[in-house]
Amino acid sequence: MAEPTFTGVGVALLTLFDEAGAVDVRGTIGHAKRLVDAGVRAVLVAGTTGEAETLTEPEREDLIAAARQELPKDITVIAGASGSWPRAAGARAVTARKAGADAVLVSPARGGVDTRVLYGAVAEAVGDASRVIGYHNPGPLGVPGIEVEALADLPIGAIKDSSADPARLLQELGSWNGRIYVGSAAILSFAGPLGAAGALLAFANAEPEACIQAFAGHVGAQRFLTDLVEAVRKGGMRALKEATAAKYGTSTVRRSALS
């Protein structure tokens, strides 16, 4: 069985849809298998990159269950389980665990919900704080971030930090003993050699090998990712799905773009 947290590079998995906007479970998990074969060590299902806000609860459960059933047992399956208030996040986390997730990724909630209360509810619901990964990504999500000073008081085993802030990463590494994952492909060759546990990346959908090499400190691989970093910065999900399709022939349909 996979550990609740991992080391190395994981992928924040795209959810693939058919032309009508239906979830393509087989295609999505097939893509995950391909990335595992390329060397990724964890798969995040139904996260921000997976267009989680467009998924129904049964669709989330089906994707999580299929990932756990189809991927090797030593690959950590993580499920997005954020909620708008503590009880909702706790319930979603429990559902994800029952579907087979080894760990859950949870953002702070909008609306001034106390972060300690939120993560406390999730940890209590799943019964194991080591299986809870906090998510620091305050800009795109419209939710508050997680202050570095607050980490020691939160019942979480790890954090995914998508800020791309090297100074913040240094502060985390120097002051907290939980596992730290970077969510930005722009600082991989900085984060890996400095001691981050790993990376959990949207970019690994399109360039898993380069992400793995960059995290290992390969400067050439880091520079190779520049064009993709810029394309996704400008084009968002559309650009990421197009880059992935160009390499693997996957669907470019975005449910969030359908009428």
DSSP, residue by residue, 133-178: EEEE-HHHH-S----GGGGGGS--SEEEE-S--HHHHHHHHHH--S
DSSP reduced 3-state for 103: strand
Q: Is 160 a catalytic residue?
A: yes
Which is the catalytic residue, given 160, 234, 241, 247?
A: 160
Q: Identify whether the C-beta of residue 188 lies closer than 8 Å to the C-beta of residue 229.
A: no
For residues 93 and 64, is the Cβ–Cβ distance under 8 A?
A: no
| Spatial separation of the C-alpha atoms in residues 185 and 102, rounded to whole Å | 24
Cβ-contact 25, 63 below 8 angstroms: yes
Q: Of 135, 234, 241, 248, which one is the catalytic site residue? A: 135
Alpha helices (H) in 100-256, listed in sequence order: 115-126, 138-141, 166-175, 188-194, 208-215, 219-224, 226-248
Active site annotation includes 119: no
Closest CA to 160 of 174, 149, 146, 150: 146
**Whole-Å CA distances, 1 to 11, 69, 126, 193:** 19, 11, 17, 28
- 36 neighbors 238 (Cβ within 8 angstroms): no
Q: 104 pairs with which residues across the strands? A: 79, 132
Active site amino acids: 135, 160
